[in-house]
Structure 1
């Protein structure tokens, strides 16, 4: 049988009847890492277990968190559209997702609830379906050590205390983990945030803590891969 050439990365996971004639604009500037992920069939992708998530966070290898290939494709398509519509992802986050009129904090870190908003990660990583991935957005800064690109011990303690009183009163502590992206991994740089992952939490608790939020990935999940969706409802 003749050797079959591999599909270009931009056709993988796309139904044949939806194949574009050329690489879509939102994929043309992909780095090699994203090309490799997007070019992997979803069927070959292995979602991370809770034990694997816990270990990744423990050893600080958060760069190994990846999205499911078709989700990464949708993420790049969606953010490409947001930049065109809003000028930047930051503008969309602040104006549409956070709906903050100002990002100036009212008080000290974690002093006032209105300086904090808990939302779903709009485009979560490829995780066990029982893992809920939240992002805690803050108007205040969390102090980094410029020498290490890590949080200072004081900032780590502040987050620990907040996570314990906010999540560990409703979810078993061994089912709660948090991390903050390295500066080089942040997709949104100008609004402070960190991540919380919960294993198999009570859905009612999650709905309450996020004020009924729905991640953007769910809102566009039913659309064909290359149909441009509206930026916000």
Structure 2
């Protein structure tokens, strides 16, 4: 297993740290206040997505992990395509999508657990839907979704997540939220994805959606368990 640095201050960060990131890194996990469901609802409803944050230890480990992954694979996108999605690099939606419409064919997207979720309360699970298709955004608004894209995602989330939960819970719709970071906030910009948050959902159902068990958090070697040490991709 490749060695992963444990001190995020010992080397340049693999991405630009925000003022909020630096504030979080100055805290202990005991001082950190987790996002609860109501707080998440407010952030998403007001589109204040820059306020999402990770637990201090998770953020420090995420920085170290990102540094290690980039040294091994060149980019986070390369790692995700090769190791998590098993999709080809340099994905071309025009030739490699079964259906040109986003979310229309299950072979064109994959649902996974977020390896590095935001710092939420334990009742909340954070999933990511990776999509081969391009999802139209409005560049005039900093890369926010177009109304048509928002409707398309709403419909996908309803039929994929809400309908399944309706089999178990009378308040299924209230247990699901989604968001898509503006382009400027995305850590993996070249690979389309949306975030889905679910509350109080048994892990068995999470497994149905993702096909993978829960992964240990606060571990800078997540995703590196079986990683080779290849020549860095440039």
The alpha-carbon deviation at position 147 of structure 1 amounts to 1.4
Structure 1: distance between partners of 2:97 and 2:202:
31
Matching residue within 85, 98, 101 for 2:72? 85
Q: Are 2:43 and 2:49, in contact at CA under 8 Å, matched by a contact in 1?
A: yes
Tell me the residue number matched to 1:151. 145
SS at match of 1:187: coil
- Report matched runs for 1:100-139 at 5 Å: 100-101=87-88, 103=91, 104-107=96-99, 108-139=101-132
Could you list the runs of 5+ residues in structure 2 that have no partner in the other structure? Answer: 1-5, 166-171, 227-234
- TM-score, normalising length: structure 1: 0.82
Q: Structure 1 pair 230/184, CA: closer, same or farther in 2 (3 Å)? A: closer
Q: Structure 1 pair 65/95, CA: closer, same or farther in 2 (3 Å)? A: same
Find the structure with the greater CA-based Rg.
1
Q: Structure 1 pair 36/207, CA: closer, same or farther in 2 (3 Å)? A: same
Query: What does the per-residue CA deviation read over 1:54-105, in whole Å, with 9 as the maximum and x for residues that have no partner?
Result: 1111111111110001100000000000000001111001100111136331
The alpha-carbon deviation at position 111 of structure 1 amounts to 1.8
Structure 1: distance between partners of 2:199 and 2:136:
28
Q: Structure 1 pair 205/97, CA: closer, same or farther in 2 (3 Å)? A: same
Q: Are 1:176 and 1:196, in contact at CA under 8 Å, matched by a contact in 2?
A: yes
Over aligned residue pairs, what C-alpha RMSD do you find?
Answer: 2.3
Structure 2: distance between partners of 1:196 and 1:153:
18
Tell me the residue number matched to 2:10. 24
Pairing 1:63–2:50 present: yes
Tell me the residue number matched to 1:180. 180
Q: Are 2:108 and 2:131, in contact at CA under 8 Å, matched by a contact in 1?
A: yes
Q: Give aligned pairs, total.
A: 207
Tell me the residue number matched to 2:36. 49
Q: Structure 1 pair 71/203, CA: closer, same or farther in 2 (3 Å)? A: same
Q: Relative to structure 2, which stretch is displaced further, 27-36 or 126-135?
A: 27-36
Q: Structure 1 pair 230/126, CA: closer, same or farther in 2 (3 Å)? A: closer
Could you list the runs of 5+ residues in structure 1 that have no partner in the other structure? Answer: 1-18
Q: Are 2:13 and 2:67, in contact at CA under 8 Å, matched by a contact in 1?
A: no
Structure 1: distance between partners of 2:223 and 2:128:
22
The alpha-carbon deviation at position 213 of structure 1 amounts to 4.6
Q: Relative to structure 2, which stretch is displaced further, 159-168 or 26-35?
A: 26-35
SS at match of 1:177: strand
